[in-house]
C-alpha cells in the first residue's frame, strides 16, 4: 500500500519587529521627563524618590520593567573600583551592565535617601519597594511611569519600555554604533535584535543631511 504524499504547507512568516521614532524619547522629551521627575523627587516623599530613581535606572541601564522590579541591593556593585549592575534577565540569563560614574553617584544617593525614609537597605531587600517596604510590582512601576509622562505633558502612547529603547538609541550613537557592546548591555540573545535600531539611526542621519553645510 502506497503511503500518502506529505502535505506541504505554506511556511509561516514571523512578523518582523521594528522600532521607530515613536518608541523612544527624543532629546527634548527626555529633558522634560527628567525635569518633572527631579522636581517631584525633592518633595520629600518616598514614592517620588523611588519614581525618580526608576526613571534614571531605565535611562542609564536600559532594564526591562521585570528586571527593575526584581533588582536587590546586592545587585548594585558600587565599590571604589566597581561600577556595574548584576541582572537576571530573560531565560534566567545573568549579565553585568556597566554604568557611568554619574549614575553610580545617583545610585548611592538613592540608597542613602531610602535609608533616611526608614527602609531597609540590606543586600537581600529589593531596590525598588512600595510604601510598605515590600517588593514593588511591574504594574505599579508602569502606572508610576504613566503618571510622570502625563505630568510632563508627553504623548500618552509612551510606556515604561520606552526608557529601554531610549537608552539603546542614545548609547548606540554615543558608542559610534558599537552593536556588540550594546547587545551585551541589553542582554539580547542575538545581535540581530540590537541591529533593529539601525533604522532609527538612519533617520537621524537623514536629519543631519539638512544641516551638513548650515
Is-catalytic flag, 188? yes
Residue among 104, 164, 165, 167 flagged as catalytic:
164
* Cell, residue 159: 510606556
Is-catalytic flag, 197? yes
Cβ proximity of 155 and 146 under 8 Å: no
Cβ proximity of 47 and 131 under 8 Å: yes
Is-catalytic flag, 161? yes
Residue among 39, 45, 82, 90 flagged as catalytic:
90
Is-catalytic flag, 2? no
Residue among 23, 104, 114, 188 flagged as catalytic:
188
Residue among 23, 48, 50, 64 flagged as catalytic:
64
Residue among 109, 159, 161, 179 flagged as catalytic:
161
Cβ proximity of 150 and 33 under 8 Å: no
Give the helix ranges, DSSP H, for 152-213: 162-174, 179-186, 191-194, 198-209
Is-catalytic flag, 14? no
Cβ proximity of 183 and 47 under 8 Å: no
Cβ proximity of 110 and 71 under 8 Å: no
Pick from 7, 27, 33: which is nearest to 159 by CA?
33
Pick from 130, 152, 131: which is nearest to 139 by CA?
130
The catalytic site residues sit at 64, 90, 161, 164, 188, 197
Amino acid at each position: 500500500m502506497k503511503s500518502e504524499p506529505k502535505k506541504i504547507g505554506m511556511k509561516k512568516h514571523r512578523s518582523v519587529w521594528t522600532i521607530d521614532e515613536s518608541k523612544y524619547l527624543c532629546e527634548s522629551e527626555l529633558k522634560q521627563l527628567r525635569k518633572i521627575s527631579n522636581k517631584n523627587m525633592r518633595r520629600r516623599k518616598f514614592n517620588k524618590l523611588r519614581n525618580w530613581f526608576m526613571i534614571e535606572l531605565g535611562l542609564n541601564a536600559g532594564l526591562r520593567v521585570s528586571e527593575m522590579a526584581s533588582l536587590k541591593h546586592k545587585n548594585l556593585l558600587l565599590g571604589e573600583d566597581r561600577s556595574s549592575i548584576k541582572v537576571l534577565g530573560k531565560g534566567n540569563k545573568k549579565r553585568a551592565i556597566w554604568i557611568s560614574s554619574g549614575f553610580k553617584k545617583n545610585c548611592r544617593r538613592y540608597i542613602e535617601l531610602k535609608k533616611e525614609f526608614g527602609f531597609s537597605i540590606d543586600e537581600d531587600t529589593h531596590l525598588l519597594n512600595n510604601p510598605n517596604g515590600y517588593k514593588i510590582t511591574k504594574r505599579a512601576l508602569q502606572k508610576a511611569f504613566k503618571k510622570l509622562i502625563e505630568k510632563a505633558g508627553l504623548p500618552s502612547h509612551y510606556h515604561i519600555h520606552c526608557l529601554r529603547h531610549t537608552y539603546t538609541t542614545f548609547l548606540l550613537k554615543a558608542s559610534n554604533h558599537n552593536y556588540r557592546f550594546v547587545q551585551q548591555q541589553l542582554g539580547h540573545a542575538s545581535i540581530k535584535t540590537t541591529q533593529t535600531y539601525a533604522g532609527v539611526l538612519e533617520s537621524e542621519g537623514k536629519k543631519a543631511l539638512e544641516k551638513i553645510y548650515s
